[in-house]
Structure 1
Amino acid sequence: MAACGGCNKKSNTQKKKCPLCKKLSGSIHYMAIRPVVKEDLEKFVQKDNYYICNNADCDVVFFNEGEDIIFLTRDINMAANFQEVSKNHTKCNKGCEDCKGG
């Protein structure tokens, strides 16, 4: 993770291609996944590097580094606050490049 110069907040810059659509997907902390997957699937969220596919046409939502754990749209609890999970950057008021668009 790289820190932005103006606010010293870390931004996620690690990317990996989605195993299904092959579009670049941003990294996400594994603890952010647990609250949004269906309750019976929480046990499959392991301490690992995960990625989130933001392609609306792709059925993959989350996948881990080894691509052996993949959560599809049907695995997501739609009542969860998914907006908080999908944020890739932390906003700050310094206007630095890493914080824009967060």
Structure 2
Amino acid sequence: MNLKQYTLISALACKDKDIENWIHNFLCGEGNNKPFSDGLKLFDRHYIGPIKMPLNMFERCCGFEEKMKFAISKKGFETNVNTMISAIKNGWDVPPLIINY
């Protein structure tokens, strides 16, 4: 996991000029989610942010639970979460959460 190029700081630097390219470059690279990038490109979008919002406004759609739209194994989910926790403890400047609304 490259913890330097795609960060909250780099996203904030692109906020007013090129956040759309930042999002697609992140998803196709470090974010490892090209299908999400491809899906976002299917329609004209308007991007805002990064902005602060309460997480309880959103519903998770990826996980190991039965009704998740984007399923992942429990082991894979726990590995991803534990990797992120470890990276945060080691100073990772976490990229902003990308929400499709």
Greater strand content: 1
Smaller-chain TM-score range?
under 0.3
* Larger RCO (CA within 8 A; separation ≥ 6): 2
